[in-house]
Chain A
């Protein structure tokens, strides 16, 4: 009986860490691209700095505890401030960071469209030349020439 209990306890102890999170909600590779290294100002996936290594280890621990990406990001923001996020949040003043580039692209496209439209108007093919009117002097000389030919 004791042996059974001991075996069961050992099995539970071994299974503990593995059973901590059988269905992780996010991955280190995803978060490495979303989180900045505070000392080197690149994303974690681009950094081997000690601070980055430490944050990666922290993220791995949280993933093993079944935390979601949002929960991990919230904890890191609480720890390091908003600057730890690679992308600004979609709210408040930070929205400008999302909308300004889009507005710039739209304004550029609009300007380009107007420019192309104007250019196409100034370069429209000229209508074929119609009958030229001749001045009276030329007409008179032509008549004279024709009369001589007759």
Chain B
């Protein structure tokens, strides 16, 4: 591993200010009762103690993003010939996402396989991804909705991060994870941290051990497929769901979108925005037919996608980072852990 450094808590605002002088720095701050990522403002104290309400997904994959502008016109040489001018808007502000939990950064591993596949690489995603650095904060404490250990992750998972901070007495241990992150350890505000690695490891171990043990869900992909036609099973799982999109939009791994055009006169913009498979309109076809007409169908798809179809297509990678936001923020406490375990139990019976 590369160099290990340490930064005292009092020096952190200075480091953030130094980073913010060169790029956009997003930190978790308290806003109206929730915690959201906002550009660093020295007057607003960042909050690192617990997971942000919304993940930093929007830093790389905004809720609404302009793809291009278009203008209809006429050829100046030949009035009868219409022209169409398309101006793409690929933006990539250099950004540091500072203080997200490892689960928030891990989500992008699931995105990468979809948006940076060989056949159709997405230039918008790639530009933002390349321009964004993740300085994540390992968890010292866990909550009862955390289940990162179920999906091969953990409170100090480095997957998706560029630099990992671990909270210890008086400050944070700073470790480089990727080549992109290594230069950040050169800041003069950081001191050598070799003497503190044992303390950091103890913090990480304690966090890992306070998680409830993960059940064996190796059979989940097959179990979910086996339950596909059992609509009574899915009715029971989805009875209380109200088909909103809270779980989807707060999920660090959910990546679906819709494309809409907004035209005014002869010009307009094409935009890509978040979409949720929990909504009725998600699979509504122009004919009026909807292959997922009920919430039972849609919840089956959501759980199936995350714990069965995606892992099967992507070498076992589960499309869930175990952050638990869907459980915590669901208005009726739909619990995806319970649904996966019910499917596995059903397959065994």
Question: Is the pairing of A and B real?
Answer: no
